[in-house]
Amino acid sequence: MGRIHWMEKAKLRMFILACEDEETGGFADRPGDMVDPFHTLFGVAGLSLLGDEQIKPANPVLCTPEDVLQRLNLQPDLLS
């Protein structure tokens, strides 16, 4: 999407990690709230798109690991 430069990566990463429940796993919409699958998916995808080396690269359109898309021979069309 080409807009990652609009964000302060370090602050966004800190916020996402502050939303993590280290005891039970998963991510919430804000620190201290209950984790849920929706925010966990987008928290992990966000960390991937920010370049976290512990997480596989994710496709920003399909929110799916790139290696899964390659294995299935799927390539989303991007609008220009």
pLDDT tens digits, one per residue of 39-77: 999 999 999 999 999 999 999 888 899 999 999 999 877
Q: Tell me the CA end-to-end span of the chain in Å, nearest whole number.
A: 10
* pLDDT tens-digit series, residues 9-49: 999 999 999 999 999 999 999 999 999 999 999 999 999 99
Point out which residues pair with 64 in neighbouring strands: 59
pLDDT of 79 above 80? no
The type of residue at 63 is C
Tell me if the pTM is above 0.75: yes
Residue with more model confidence, 69 or 4: 69
Could you give the CA distance from residue 74 to residue 4 in angstroms, rounded to a whole number?
24
